[in-house]
Structure 1
Amino acid sequence: MKEHFQNFVIVSVAFIVASSLTLGFVFPLQSMLLSASKLEIGLLFLPHGVRVLAFHFLGWRAVFYLLPSSYLFLTLSNHAGSQLDPMSPIVSMIACYLGYKAATLLPILTDRALAPSLWKFLVIAGATSSFANGVALSVLQHQGAEIVSVMGYLIGDISGLIVCFLILMYAFRFARLLAKASET
């Protein structure tokens, strides 16, 4: 039980921080620079990186760990002017998980000789989960899979995933430098 609570707290805090950066910095910047784009589709959606990492490390349980913070994000997004469907967090989590699982079943990714490194696999898995998420949310929001909407989700999720990975990479490097500096 303690492990589940710790996982829930870690995943929730990471998702809330990524969502806060997206809502407080990315969306306002996007609306200033690209006033014609839809606010529902962020062109840099950082929480997608948290989702992919959670699915990789926690499996299907990540759906339940991510749902409360996803509903918090939905509430804050709707207060910011977006009109998202109340079912979108559930649809999004299930679609992302199914997309992630689809990536684990791709023959080219399971062959040991051809298998990419972990970060490359996570980007591919993030792309497949983003595609599934884009189709599912587009059907939910627009009653049909609009290609522009799906492409917007793909661009936002994948760019958010890559930026999330870059942030984590530099954070871990900085932590390693701090640890090394404290040893000397």
Structure 2
Amino acid sequence: MTILTTARLRLEPMSDEHLQGLFEMNRDAEVMRYITGKPDTIADTQAMIDRVQARWAEWGYSWWTFIERETGEIVGAGCVQHLGRDRANPHELGWRLRRDRWGRGYGSEAAIRMAAYAFDTLDAPQLVAFCDADNRASSHVMEKLGMRFRATERWYDFDGSVYGITRDEWRQGLGAPGAAGAPERQSPPMK
């Protein structure tokens, strides 16, 4: 199983040792507002970990736990999976963060690293992300990645916004600046 790192985060494949930290995040109603609409019980979080571990075994990728390198605390989770959890569908990025870490750029930082992994290691032809249309924080991360709105569709039992980017767009620098596979953007010359 693959561990990913960023400047501030260590992304470890989700495991039983992460249960308490993930539960602390998932039991927050505001964190889960656009995901399930209700806080998790500890049994819900354990069931999530069990599903994720089965996907790691089957696919070789799934959900990571985000560990803040400076503190060692669990601050979020994110994934490369398939939309609708069906391998016939495109690869999907997803993420969630502990509320006290919102607004610090961790979502974008982790999403850029997971996107680079999907394109460079998994050779995904495209990536999509899905969120509730009212979840501006998530759609903002998608836009920062270079993803564009594609459609309103029904996934995971609710209608939401699908954003996407192709591998070619990512590699041509249309993805997030500074991401692996996406060169730094330069400002246009002043006239």
Fold similarity call, TM over 0.5: no
Higher relative contact order (CA 8 A, sep 6+): 1
**Greater radius of gyration (CA):** 1
Q: Which has the higher helix share?
A: 1
